[in-house]
Structure 1
Amino acid sequence: MPNPVSSFLALILVACAVAAAPAAAQQQMPPKKVGVVELKRENVPRIVTLPGRAVAVQRVGIRPRVSGTVTEILYREGTTLEAGDPMFRIDDTTYQAALASAEADVSAATAAQSQARLAYERADRLVGQGLSQAELESRKADLERATAQLKAAEAALDVARAELGWTTVRSPIAGVASVATVSIGDLVSAAQADALATVIQLDPIDVDMYEPSTRILRVVDDIEAGLLDVHDTLSASLTLENGRSYDFEGELLSPGFTVSMSTGAVDRRFRFDNPDHLLLPGMFVRGSMEIGTMNAILVSQSAATRDRSGQLTAWVLEDGKAAQRKLVETGTYQNQWIVVEGVRAGDQLIVDGFQNLRVGMDVVPVAVEYDAAGVIREQSADAGSSQPPSQSE
């Protein structure tokens, strides 16, 4: 009969052997393969992306300068007008009469001045020959009074002509006209609050871009530290709301000199050509502004992660083992972090297979590269071809 104690000990030994088998197998697993790229320093454009909004260069509310009834609307809504194009006509009957009256007043004042001049000249010849000096001075005063009355009449004539001209309401700027807010027969008054229409200049058009003041201070720090070489002139490109790139670059009009108390941002204004009227006032856009270049290391965003505190980290190869580095970045360029601290030129950055890595873990590096589409591919011995990397173990 088998010994119970011996049987129990045998079962324990079998169980221990079974439990030790996976551990032994795990210890015998080969090091994990990881894809690495060699880091290098290069001159990188410093590009900032800013939210923006289109603003009309000029926007004018059309208001009458004289009172009267609208008799004609002389433009088509939505059409482009040149400066001076007629838009409305106001009944000019009373202004025609006022002009005729002013012309008559000028004629009468001219005749009075001529008569006063002749009287003065006659008195000047006869002074001392039966005409006293006092009478000469009186004739001179009459001439000056007549001259002043003529000037007043001519000024009134200029006003009458101007008011008659104002009965045709013209656009003061070139731009696109809105729908008229009045109809034929409506009574309008001089300097009324409500506009008859609006004319907006769309080409060129301005775009306000809003940059946080903290970012501006960061740029200043980089310049003072010698990290950033600023361009002499600044230009900007746009991305529209549908993701389409705008065809024209804009030039800086105003760098902004105040910080908004509500947003903490500085308003920078750029001007863009807009021949097709693709940009409209009030439209939101995304602007990209290249402010200079800096010598830095580019680290793919897919190869770096942030922890809960926001610290950016990446894995590198050190003596055949995985090591984690803390990175200091100063923006992005083409889906890559612009890194100024944390890695050095020549470091082997782990870009593939870094999931589940632990510090000090043995790894086997496989040289890889990014293709034009941003896909990681294993470097081939033949420089003219590349293959996808083998699956990491």
Structure 2
Amino acid sequence: MGKTIIRVLAPLLVIAGGVGVSVLLHATKPQPEKSGDKARPVSVYTAPVQRQDVVLEVFTQGEVRPRTELDLVAQVSGRIVAVSPEFTEGGIITPGEALLEIEDTDYRLALREAQARVAEARVAVEQALADADVARKQLRNEPNASDLALKKPQVARARAQLEAAEAGLEQARLDLERTRITLPFEGRLTATRADKGQYITAGAVVGHAFASDVVEVRLPLADAQLASLGLPIGYSAEAGGGLPVDFSARVAGTQQHWRGRLTRLDAAIDPATRTLYGMAELHSPYRDNVSDLGMPMAVGLYVEATIQGRSMRDARLIPAEALRAGDTVYLVSEAGTLDIRQVDVLHRNGERAVISAGLEGGERVVTSAIRNPIQGMAIYSIDGDDTAVATN
């Protein structure tokens, strides 16, 4: 009986002893020291919100193309007997200067024949008028004399024949002039398809050229860019007007700049890209309006365009890196804590953003990255010179 009681109580005593030791250790464990320091502020770089008058700038790009571009087409047939030295790819076109000359012997003979027909028709008119005068005198006492008896139809026929002969003479002169293939503007040749000795027919294409007086650049514009320009859809500038545009491209290893004007906007939005296109112009790109380094803004060149848009008075400006996703801005409050604020962005580019609402001049915006930003978190503001301007 005694052994049975011992076997039952022994495990219970072991368990009770273990619990007692555990309670004793927990009661006598040392307490960790409590620190009274607050969370360390996060250091950030900041910049002030500036208030000043600005001119909004729109950045876009496009390809230079000529305003006038055409095929050179022969208007008469014949053998080419002369070719200008400028009739080659890249050749300079002078207004009225012959690029090609077609053999004109047949056309000169046709002109002489037309002149003879005119002279003959004039004699016929004089003869008809004389006959009519005689008939009128003979029939002056006949009140009911017919027009045929008075030779009026004969006079009308003679005059009609004279007009036809004069028209034939004018056509012969035109055909003779058209043996010299010319253009009425300054330009450049981009292709040639004929040479001396070749026989060509009327309507044959002998080359391709463009006018060098004006080049155009078609520029895509997003809705925000259109707002920065302050122009309505379908805008068309008056002669000599339009918004200033600075074109730039890297040519011959150097950045070149040219100055033109935005003269009009399309009246419809492109359904494929959902953008609006504007047209900028540059006059005399190969002679008067070359770059500062003497480089022309050549046709086919891909250029970047900076358009000067509307002016803004007392605008709020912040660095581009201070504008966060969703048009939010991080600011340093007077208490040295983070203030996450929503703003209205009027214009932005790679360097700055123009804010229309949500900021005041003198406030400081955070320009550096913040990991896990939380409204009201402690921050330590540093300006561009690593000088502390606000602390927690």
Q: Secondary structure at the match of 2:262?
A: strand
Q: In structure 1, which of residues 222, 235, 241 is the aligned counterpart of residue 244 of structure 2?
A: 235
1:271 aligns with 2:271: no
Report Cα offsets for 1:336-389 as digits up to 9, x if no partner. Answer: 1212333322323234585676543434444x3xxxxxxx3246xxxxxxxxx8
Q: Is 1:315–1:354's contact at 8 Å kept on the other side of the alignment? A: no
Q: In structure 2, which of residues 277, 295, 317 is the aligned counterpart of residue 298 of structure 1?
A: 317
Q: Secondary structure at the match of 1:278?
A: coil
1:173 aligns with 2:185: yes
Q: In structure 1, which of residues 290, 311, 335 is the aligned counterpart of residue 351 of structure 2?
A: 335
1:259 aligns with 2:269: yes
Task: Return the alpha-carbon distance in structure 2 between the equivalents of residues 312 and 258 of structure 1.
Answer: 33
Gap change, CA 1:320 and 1:129, over 3 Å in 2:
closer
Residue 58 of structure 2: aligned partner: 48
AA matched with 1:72:
A
Residue 129 of structure 2: aligned partner: 117
Task: Return the alpha-carbon distance in structure 2 between the equivalents of residues 43 and 138 of structure 1.
Answer: 88
Task: Return the alpha-carbon distance in structure 2 between the equivalents of residues 293 and 354 of structure 1.
Answer: 34
**What is the number of residues matched between the two proteins?**
347
Compute the displacement of 1:158 (Å): 0.9
Residue 151 of structure 1: aligned partner: 163
Q: Is 2:258–2:297's contact at 8 Å kept on the other side of the alignment? A: no
Task: Return the alpha-carbon distance in structure 1 between the equivalents of residues 311 and 147 of structure 2.
Answer: 88
Task: Return the alpha-carbon distance in structure 1 between the equivalents of residues 147 and 372 of structure 2.
Answer: 118
Compute the displacement of 1:167 (Å): 0.9
The share of aligned pairs that are identical, in percent, is 20
Q: In structure 2, which of residues 349, 358, 362 is the aligned counterpart of residue 346 of structure 1?
A: 362
Q: Is 2:76–2:178's contact at 8 Å kept on the other side of the alignment? A: yes
Q: CA RMSD in A?
A: 3.8
Which stretch shifts more, 197-206 or 36-45? 36-45
1:377 aligns with 2:389: no
Compute the displacement of 1:135 (Å): 9.3
Q: Is 1:234–1:251's contact at 8 Å kept on the other side of the alignment? A: yes
Residue 17 of structure 2: aligned partner: none
Residue 285 of structure 1: aligned partner: 303
Task: Return the alpha-carbon distance in structure 2 between the equivalents of residues 319 and 28 of structure 1.
Answer: 15
Q: In structure 2, which of residues 71, 74, 79 is the aligned counterpart of residue 61 of structure 1?
A: 71
Q: Is 1:210–1:268's contact at 8 Å kept on the other side of the alignment? A: yes
Task: Return the alpha-carbon distance in structure 1 between the equivalents of residues 48 and 146 of structure 2.
Answer: 109
Residue 340 of structure 2: aligned partner: 324
Task: Return the alpha-carbon distance in structure 1 between the equivalents of residues 68 and 229 of structure 2.
Answer: 33
Task: Return the alpha-carbon distance in structure 2 between the equivalents of residues 251 and 197 of structure 1.
Answer: 31
Task: Return the alpha-carbon distance in structure 2 between the equivalents of residues 64 and 168 of structure 1.
Answer: 9
Gap change, CA 1:36 and 1:211, over 3 Å in 2:
closer
Gap change, CA 1:362 and 1:264, over 3 Å in 2:
closer
Compute the displacement of 1:81 (Å): 1.7
Residue 373 of structure 1: aligned partner: none
Q: Is 2:47–2:319's contact at 8 Å kept on the other side of the alignment? A: no
Gaps of 5+ in 2: 1-20, 233-240
Task: Return the alpha-carbon distance in structure 2 between the equivalents of residues 265 and 127 of structure 1.
Answer: 82
**Structure-to-structure mapping, 1:153-232, within 5 angstroms:** 153-192=165-204, 195-213=205-223, 215-216=225-226
Which stretch shifts more, 263-272 or 183-192? 183-192
Gap change, CA 1:118 and 1:52, over 3 Å in 2:
same
Q: Secondary structure at the match of 1:70?
A: strand
Gap change, CA 1:110 and 1:28, over 3 Å in 2:
closer
Q: Is 1:317–1:350's contact at 8 Å kept on the other side of the alignment? A: no
Task: Return the alpha-carbon distance in structure 1 between the equivalents of residues 39 and 273 of structure 2.
Answer: 56
Gaps of 5+ in 1: 224-231, 369-375, 380-388
Compute the displacement of 1:213 (Å): 4.3
Q: In structure 2, which of residues 110, 116, 120 is the aligned counterpart of residue 108 of structure 1?
A: 120
Gap change, CA 1:139 and 1:350, over 3 Å in 2:
closer
Alignment TM-score, normalising by the size of structure 2? 0.74
Task: Return the alpha-carbon distance in structure 1 between the equivalents of residues 147 and 213 of structure 2.
Answer: 69
Structure with higher Rg: it is 2
AA matched with 1:60:
L
Task: Return the alpha-carbon distance in structure 2 between the equivalents of residues 364 and 120 of structure 1.
Answer: 114
Which stretch shifts more, 27-36 or 345-354? 27-36
AA matched with 1:319:
A
Task: Return the alpha-carbon distance in structure 2 between the equivalents of residues 133 and 235 of structure 1.
Answer: 78
Task: Return the alpha-carbon distance in structure 2 between the equivalents of residues 179 and 293 of structure 1.
Answer: 45
1:72 aligns with 2:72: no
Q: Secondary structure at the match of 1:339?
A: strand
Residue 229 of structure 1: aligned partner: none
